[in-house]
Amino acid sequence: MRVLEKINPEIVESLNLFKDWVFRPEIQESLRGEISKNKYELYDGGQSEASTSLEYLSSLDHKRHDGYPPELRGLDLNYDTVKKLDHGFDDAFVNEIRDINFKTDSLLQIYLGAKISALKAFYPEQGYIAWHTNWNAPGYNIIFTYSPTGSGYWRHIDPTNATSITPTPENMVHISDTPGWHCKVGYFGSQTETNKLVWHSAYTNEPRVTLAYLIYEENIWKDIVKEIEEA
Amino acid sequence: METQIQISPEKIVLREDSRYIFQPRFVDDERTIVKAIVLFPDGSLREMEAERDDADSPLVRDVFLQYSEAEIEMHTHRERCMIQKMQAVEQRAREDQARREQLDKLFQAKSEALQMEGVKGCKDATITRRIRSAKTVTEVHSLAAYALMMGTEC
Ligand SMILES: [Fe+2]
């Protein structure tokens, strides 16, 4: 997993399109209304950050993990996810979500050459995504995160030399958010690729946006990484 | 003498041979065709329609016996709204599907072009990068053809 702190302006412009939409007051009202309706055990118990703790990671049934986060305080605004999950959004708002997805992906997904838009998340204050692997969708990832002041973080378990799916707590890597946009790139392996299997989680003290794209081909992914690095 | 059965004091007046009518509405803008769901004595429900001016139609007779013009208009409006919503949903689904297919084709074209020996070996990284970020399949093919034509010079 590598962190790229500088992103070329062309990509940032597309990222801002989505971020600026998310932070529009009327959009925030709808998103926060939806978030407040859901039950978040850790948040309600004042334990938001427990979701990214090593104790929480150890407590999971690793063998029965399905790849998805067991708990998330935030919303995935990917249009396909919104359609599938039957949020409480009205038709007009679902259409807004559809429009911003199309606009963002028409610029970003096509520019990157990414096959799948994996995530378009908004996290409120004390938002989190609990430890998980995404091993149901292995591939090369490009993960863009926006944080206003950088008061949030990402954690993952470095899988180098791992021989089992059980994460090794000593190999935890903590990456603080930075003010503005930054990017993380890496390969997330399947259940059988133990040395490429990335347990990861994130937490934020302030509103945070993450867009992730999944690329199946290494050469395309390498070219994107190179381009971002050149920024 | 015709016997009438009073079902609801205000509205529904049935003759002995009448059927219960549900959701009566006009099909056309000119309000010449009436459509409704009819309950038959065996318990089955059937959707039926008839011309409003058809004096011999039991359906028309029963519709206007049981419903006022305003009520029929209300059902007409409700159905039209529902149809419009369904059409919008179907239209969106068609557009989504078309978009997905278009994206899939584009990524497939990029992937295939970038795997071609002549393109892979291209020394000019700007060409492969432009293929990666191309907006259309035509653009991908043109850039790949350029890379192939230029050979190792590209
Ligand atoms: Fe993830």
Give A104-159 pLDDT, tens digit per residue: 999 999 999 999 999 999 999 999 999 999 999 999 999 999 999 999 999 999 99
- Name residues whose C-beta falls within 8 Å of residue B129's C-beta, 6 or more positions apart in sequence: A223, A227
Q: Is the ipTM of this complex over 0.90?
A: no
Average per-residue pLDDT for chain A: 93
**Closest C-alpha to B22, from B42, B53, B45:** B45
**Which one of A98, A105, A113 has the shortest CB-CB distance to B132?**
A113
In A, which residues are within 8 Å of B103 by CB distance? 105, 109-110
Average pLDDT over residues A154-173: 94
Lowest mean pLDDT among A86-95, A154-163, B28-37, B91-100: A86-95
Q: Any CB–CB contact under 8 A between B123 and chain A?
A: no
Q: What is the pLDDT of residues B10-66, one digit of tens each?
A: 555 566 678 899 999 999 999 999 999 999 888 899 999 999 999 999 999 999 999
Between B152 and A126, name the one with better pLDDT: A126
**Which one of B85, B106, B114 has the shortest CB-CB distance to A110?**
B106
For residues A143 and A108, what is the distance between their CA atoms, to the nearest angstrom? 12
| pLDDT range class, residue B5, cuts 50, 70, 90 | very low
In B, which residues are within 8 Å of A105 by CB distance? 103
Average pLDDT over residues A84-94: 84
The three-point CA angle B130-B131-B136 to 5° equals 105
Residue A87, pLDDT score: 76
In B, which residues are within 8 Å of A225 by CB distance? none
Report phi then psi at B55, rounded to 5.
Answer: -65, -20
Domain containing residue A61: 2-228
Contact assessment for residue B97 and residue B105, using Cβ atoms and an 8 Å cutoff: no
Residue B7, pLDDT score: 46
Is the pLDDT reported for residue B150 higher than 90? no
Is the pLDDT reported for residue B104 higher than 90? yes
**Which one of A110, A217, A224 has the shortest CB-CB distance to B135?**
A110
Domain count, chain A: 1
pTM exceeding 0.90: no
Size of interface A-B (CB pairs under 8 A): 37
CA A22, A23, A29, A34 torsion: positive or negative? positive
What number of CA atoms fall less than 13 Å from residue A199's CA on the CB side?
31
Q: Which of A223, A226, A227 to mutate to test the interface with B (most CBs of B within 10 A)?
A: A223
Q: Which residues pair with A140 in a beta bridge?
A: A187, A215
Contact across the interface for A220 and B106, Cβ inside 8 Å: no
Residue B6, pLDDT score: 46
Q: How far is B133 from chain A (nearest CA, A)?
A: 4
Give the residue ranges of DSSP H helices in chain B: 58-66, 69-115, 117-120, 125-132, 137-150
For residues A159 and A141, what is the distance between their CA atoms, to the nearest angstrom? 16
SS3 A184: strand
Domain ranges of chain B: 12-92, 101-149
Residue B152, pLDDT score: 58
For residues A101 and A209, what is the distance between their CA atoms, to the nearest angstrom? 14
